Structure 1
């Protein structure tokens, strides 16, 4: 079963979204793609899709593929500086693909390509004893640019390394911008490698958001809040953004209105008989409440709503649910059978799908998006996802307490 609004590839494996860009009246979304497989393999491509919003994407031709010295085209970013458009990606070679190189590609035409590979512009610093190096992210730095790359030290230190450039061409190593030992577990454990470390300023404070990786196990999205002085990031607080087993690989981007946003890879969504695996979340706008990072479903989600379902019943398998209650139970049914149950308390909820259940921190107001096999739950305390198996072709939602609004999505 495919979701209707969450992006999936026609066939093959997908994981990290990246390079999401609003340009010339549409979004361009790139992603890790392994054609012809339903399992990950090192020989990743950069897939490409575009559309008026990130819930209405159409898959396009592959942007970048292995070859020309690359055994795999791993995660990176897309930078626009006027008419100068560049992809910076992780180029890997087998068998030691843990240590990547940062390589550039430019389009012959617009973002639809074709893309032409250029030089390797950054390599791992020789003076650091690293077991992993990948995932460049670039942002403005005064009149120039700053690149951050995730790295893992052999001693268990997760790092974000940085480089500076006046022109996106020549890069100077600026040192370790942020580091933390995997032995530190409070208030949140941040692993041995930060995959896709990305930096953004929210309401005057700097935030680093990343994927938490350790020993080839993908965990969740975490973050640091603090200040960046131009060389070092001083982390004042650490937090966890995602829960459950689905959401990983947050991709930071700026929407059509210039607001900072994020989109995730959702693990576990696929149909191997139909030849595809992997989905992307709905987009979220980022915010900050003190030292807590928040993620709210993007306004584009609400633009896909139909009329309010006064009885909580929706024809079809896509719904946008708003529920506010200090405590209570919310039940989602399909074909008369329970698809998901949320038992909510003041600060925590237990989500149950079939025989599986998860404890998730929540605020008083909860937003739940159901789209076929996908459930996403978000609140001021974080974001969660689970895989559903709807029994019918309809949805009905009821809550034991509080305010409930249910809208069909299409």
Structure 2
């Protein structure tokens, strides 16, 4: 690759090609393993997806390891899934095998690693597909431990416009029994949030005694946002007592659930719209987020692994309630917002993104991006907001949700301005070592070599 290409510093991107869903994040032998949907040789999605592989000591400094599983042997595409690791440390990958032309209904297939590095995997048999004609879409197996057995949820869309997760159980990760529908919700239900007509990447986990089903909202080949239900789970069935929207805007999608090395529940997202200036790669993955519950609100907070690369810096008071800083690296802004708060990033020539608080929410505008023309991000006045800034992407988080905003990657100085906010703190984020982040990456915001 071009050693002087600009790209994000601490958001994973492939050296070349297209990526989407992150998959199978696992802490093993002192490092994290990350897999992801990968289409080499192009910068747009295609159905012949592979599983790419990367490793990191801390979920920030990723090293690309190559292709773990590729199409072939009966697969026209190797689509999303998960990895289950038994008590003996043996791992099994479960992925969606698709064949043309009916790629909407996949088949769950297993694979096992060839060695301890997990760099290559051997495919096993195809296990199951849509159980009956009422299942019109079927993909994305998620496998987790469920008491004395294993449980698999597969994302589905049912005829008539109902989103669902299909449930299976297994004593040994090899023999599986269909147990019916684990959860479902009609596409006509909109209160308090619409959850689509098909669930992609449905994943179940527990926080503080409550079960959470996180899923990506799909309808008619349109990718929307990430939603979640909070409720109870037993015997392969999930019952939601409340529903909520986690992500806002048209960038975050298809998060992957995992527990970090300390056991904390976490998510990492696909970030749509981050594009190489020279057309060599497309899409990025988010920083990892730690999950907590506040009542029935799922809160995603940037993971503390980012702190190892952060140093506090001062914003310069320019005039009254206006503060500025010139950024040559990434940044982590923390501030309390209220009516009239304005946060912006700009070069000398143009504004890149502007966040304006109207008293109820932030209106987010990214120059030249129609998907982010006053896109609304809910945040009450008096609440803290974090804004993580990297080349090509901004991630915004607060108690009420998260938003990623793709930006042009520029080779010029960038100024952060903060007006009418309180309790602001700014941390600069240094890029990880080049040998860890990917060979030859140039990752500064302002064209640093």
Same fold (TM over 0.5): yes
Q: 2:356 aligns with which of 316, 329, 343?
A: 343
2:374 aligned with 1:354: no
Cα displacement string for residues 217-267 of structure 1 (whole angstroms, at most 9, x for unaligned residues): 000000111101223211111111000111000110111111010011011
Task: Identify the range of structure 1 (351-360 vs 209-218) with the bigger mean alpha-carbon deviation.
Answer: 351-360
Q: TM-score, with normalisation over the residues of structure 1? A: 0.96
2:111 aligned with 1:105: yes
2:26 aligned with 1:13: no
Residue 43 of structure 1: SS of its match in structure 2? coil
Shift of 1:151: 0.8
Note the 1:270-281 alignment, pairs <5 A: 270-271=275-276, 273-281=278-286
Q: 1:69 aligns with which of 70, 74, 96?
A: 74
Kept after mapping to 1: 8 A contact 2:340/2:359: no
2:134 aligned with 1:115: no
Equivalent residue number for residue 243 of structure 1: 248
Cα displacement string for residues 279-315 of structure 1 (whole angstroms, at most 9, x for unaligned residues): 0111101111111111011101222212323435244
Aligned partners of 2:293, 2:345: CA distance in 1, in Å? 34
Kept after mapping to 2: 8 A contact 1:317/1:395: no
Shift of 1:386: 1.1
Note the 1:212-251 alignment, pairs <5 A: 212-251=217-256
Aligned partners of 1:333, 1:177: CA distance in 2, in Å? 44
2:244 aligned with 1:263: no
Task: Identify the range of structure 1 (267-276 vs 225-234) with the bigger mean alpha-carbon deviation.
Answer: 267-276
Kept after mapping to 1: 8 A contact 2:155/2:198: yes
Residue 350 of structure 1: SS of its match in structure 2? strand
Note the 1:179-194 alignment, pairs <5 A: 179-194=184-199
Residue 300 of structure 1: SS of its match in structure 2? helix
Residue 312 of structure 2: SS of its match in structure 1? coil
- Return closer, same or farther for 1:318/1:170 CA change in 2, 3 Å cut-off: same
Cα RMSD after superposing both structures: 1.5
Shift of 1:394: 3.6
Identify which of structures 1 and 2 has the higher relative contact order when contacts are C-alpha pairs closer than 8 Å and 6+ apart. 2
2:330 aligned with 1:318: yes
Q: 2:389 aligns with which of 366, 370, 376?
A: 370
Task: Count residues with an aligned counterpart.
Answer: 409
Equivalent residue number for residue 398 of structure 2: 379
Q: 2:168 aligns with which of 149, 158, 163?
A: 163
Aligned partners of 2:96, 2:365: CA distance in 1, in Å? 38
Q: 1:57 aligns with which of 32, 54, 62?
A: 62
Task: Identify the range of structure 1 (230-239 vs 88-97) with the bigger mean alpha-carbon deviation.
Answer: 230-239
Note the 1:390-405 alignment, pairs <5 A: 390=410, 392-405=412-425
Unaligned runs of 5+ in 1: none
- Return closer, same or farther for 1:276/1:319 CA change in 2, 3 Å cut-off: same
Equivalent residue number for residue 433 of structure 2: none
Shift of 1:192: 0.7
Task: Identify the range of structure 1 (136-145 vs 108-117) with the bigger mean alpha-carbon deviation.
Answer: 108-117
Equivalent residue number for residue 98 of structure 2: 92
Q: 2:182 aligns with which of 167, 173, 177?
A: 177
Aligned partners of 1:272, 1:315: CA distance in 2, in Å? 19
Residue 305 of structure 2: SS of its match in structure 1? helix
Aligned partners of 2:188, 2:310: CA distance in 1, in Å? 45
Task: Identify the range of structure 1 (112-121 vs 251-260) with the bigger mean alpha-carbon deviation.
Answer: 112-121
Q: TM-score, with normalisation over the residues of structure 2? A: 0.88
Aligned partners of 1:199, 1:315: CA distance in 2, in Å? 39
Aligned partners of 1:5, 1:314: CA distance in 2, in Å? 19
Residue 306 of structure 2: SS of its match in structure 1? helix
Cα displacement string for residues 55-77 of structure 1 (whole angstroms, at most 9, x for unaligned residues): 21011120000000000000000
Q: 2:344 aligns with which of 332, 348, 357?
A: 332
Residue 5 of structure 1: SS of its match in structure 2? coil
Residue 309 of structure 2: SS of its match in structure 1? coil
Kept after mapping to 2: 8 A contact 1:314/1:407: no
Shift of 1:331: 2.7
Aligned partners of 1:168, 1:244: CA distance in 2, in Å? 37
Task: Identify the range of structure 1 (18-27 vs 300-309) with the bigger mean alpha-carbon deviation.
Answer: 300-309
Note the 1:288-303 alignment, pairs <5 A: 288-303=293-308
Shift of 1:347: 3.6
